[in-house]
Every structure is written in C-alpha cells, then in structure tokens.
Amino acid sequence: MNYIDAGELLLGLVILFAAGDALVHGSVAAATRLRIPPILIGLTIVGIGTSAPELVVSVDAALGGAPSIAIGNVVGSNIANILLILGLPALITPIVSGQPFLRRNMIFMLVASGVLAVLVHGGELDRTDGLLLATMIVLYLVYSAVGMMRSRAAQAEIEDEVRSLAPARANTTGILARIGLGLVFLPIGAHFVVDGASGIATSFGISEAVIGLTIIAVGTSLPELAAALAAALRREPAMIMGNVIGSNIFNICAILGITALITNVPVEPRFAALDIWVMLAAAALVAPFAFARRPVSRLAGGVFLTLYIAYAAWLARTAVGA
C-alpha cells in the first residue's frame, strides 16, 4: 500500500470539502447582501457551488491526462447517489418526498442520462458535446426558476435552504475571505485527489476508471451521504430524493458539460459497455418512486444497497489489470 498516495487522496478530499463549504457559504452571503432573489441564489450559487468539488476534480483529471477519472467520477457518483445515498438512509426510515416538481426533475434526469449514454458511445466528449450538456443545464435552471416562481411551496423551500446557508452576522471581510479561500483551495484539493488516486491506480495496477467510479465518486459524495443519513435519523427525509435527482442532473450536464467545453475528454470503452448502463438501470429503478410519489421503503433501500455492494464488489474483483 502506498501510504503517501492514500494520504494525498484523503488530504485532497478534506481540502475539497472545506473549500467547497467556504465557497458556498460565502457566495450565498454575498448574494443575499446584494439582494439577489433567493430562487436565483438557490438554483445557481447553491446548485453549482455544491457541485464545485466534483467539477474541479473532473477538470483537473481531464487536463492532467486522466480522463477516465473525470468520467468515472460523474458516472460513479450518479450510481452511488441512487443506490447508496437513497438506499442506506431508507434502512433507517422510508424516504418520502413532497417536493414540488419531483416528476419533472425525474424526467429531466432520465433524459440527461440517456443523452450521456449516447455521447459516450462516440468514444470522446468534445466541445460540441460539452455545449449540448451546458445548454441543457441552462434550460433546466431557467425552467426550474419559472416553475418555482409559480409555486409558493417551492419558494418557501428554497428560501429556507438559502437562509440556512447564509452565515450569521458575517461581515464583508469574512464573506470575501470565505469566497477567496474556497476559490484558492478547491483546485489545490482537486489536484491532490487526482494525483493521489492516479498514484494508487499505478501502484496496484488498477484502472483509473475503477478508481474514479469507486474511491473518488464515493469520496466526493460523502457530504451528501452524511446529510442524507442525518436527515433520516431526524426522521426528516423529505429532501433526500429531490437532492439526489438534482445532484445527478448537475453531475451530467454541468460537470461534464463544463469539463468538455474546456478540453476534449476521451471515454474508455468500458464506460459505454457497462458502467453507463448501470447508471441508467439505477435511474430506472428509482423513477417509479418519483413518478408515483411512493416512499422508498426499507425493503427497497435494502435492494438498492445490495445492488451497490454487488456492483462495487464486481469492480473490485475485476479491477487489477483492467
């Protein structure tokens, strides 16, 4: 075991979480002071800001010659979001959702997943693909904003979220410091994560794709998992499913879209042959719960978790020499 690479990876994840948190809180506070409407803050600053760690990891990996980490990070995160982040909390309490626009967001997630499945079969995500995905996230944000302005429940929900993220009694210096520290340390953390993960892959002869699908995908999803478990323990699971669906949309359209706009991203054949289909299957599994607004029961959560463990075990079994 190369402890230096493992330590670099863990340090990078810690820096990513801390820097991402500082950036989101500082940006929300600044936007609130500038009297930007909460709907715009929630959809843009919060939505994109909470995905910043995954974005900088994917961009750093693609620019650094490790495109499989960039793709694996997104595909693996989307699989983990559904099977792990929905499955594990559902063992504690059934995951119900009364969030507005859940069905519409579910449809958009399925469409985005299908578009990505088509694009990866081309063997590379180029700038045209990136522009398509980026356009999709813009359309999603605009459509969401229009819908939320017509729904008092949605407005109240997003206002509560923005209020919880704005630091209490933060002065201008503190706000700017948070934003500055986040912007400086996010790329540093991302570089540590990618460098450490690449080192581990080299040391063990493991495919970078597998590292991206597992260690990095789960690592960058840990804050969402912790939040989902905390909500389940408080018996307040209403936000979990909506957050998972929104995160998956941002992962595909914003993270891969922006990454592909910056640089072409080669796609390993294994993604088109297997992993993208696992992602689509996971999306198809959760879709009936969203459309029917039925709770994800403990039994369903157990099935989700078992499927994720089986997928991770298969990746581990076939990792060496992949």
Q: What's residue 168's pLDDT?
A: 66
Query: Which DSSP category does 95 fall into?
Result: B
Q: Centre a 10 Å sphere on the Cβ of residue 106 and count the other Cβ atoms it contains.
A: 22
pLDDT single digits (tens) 203-257? 888 888 999 999 899 888 888 888 888 888 888 777 788 888 988 999 999 999 9
Distances (CA, A) of 89 to 134, 199, 298: 31, 33, 9
Which among 137, 172, 154 has a CA at the least distance from the CA of 44? 137
What integer is the mean pLDDT of 23-38?
A: 82
Q: Centre a 10 Å sphere on the Cβ of residue 134 and count the other Cβ atoms it contains.
A: 18
Q: What's residue 320's pLDDT?
A: 61
- The amino acid that residue 316 corresponds to is A
Judged against a pLDDT cut of 90, whether residue 266 lies above it is answered with yes
Tally the residues of the chain. Answer: 322
- Which of 15 and 223 is assigned the larger pLDDT? 15
Average of per-residue pLDDT values in the chain = 87
Judged against a pLDDT cut of 70, whether residue 99 lies above it is answered with no
Buried b (16+ CB within 10 A) or exposed e, 43-77: bebbbbbbbbbbbbbbbbbbeeebbbbbbbbbbbb
pLDDT single digits (tens) 101-122? 788 889 999 999 999 999 999 9
Judged against a pLDDT cut of 70, whether residue 321 lies above it is answered with no
pLDDT band at 125; cut points 50, 70, 90 = very high
Q: What's residue 1's pLDDT?
A: 52
Judged against a pLDDT cut of 90, whether residue 124 lies above it is answered with yes
Which among 26, 52, 10 has a CA at the least distance from the CA of 181? 26
What integer is the mean pLDDT of 124-135?
A: 96
Coil, helix or strand for 99?
A: coil
Q: What's residue 278's pLDDT?
A: 97
pLDDT band at 171; cut points 50, 70, 90 = confident
Coil, helix or strand for 264?
A: coil
Q: What's residue 281's pLDDT?
A: 97
Cα separation, 90 vs 305, whole angstroms? 9
Half-sphere exposure of 163 (CA within 13 A, CB side): 6
pTM for this predicted structure? 0.88
pLDDT band at 40; cut points 50, 70, 90 = confident
What integer is the mean pLDDT of 52-81?
A: 92
From 3-7, 193-197, 213-217, the region with the lowest mean pLDDT: 3-7
Distances (CA, A) of 65 to 164, 195, 221: 39, 11, 23
pLDDT band at 167; cut points 50, 70, 90 = low
Which domains occur in the chain, in start order?
A: 3-319 (1.20.1420.30)
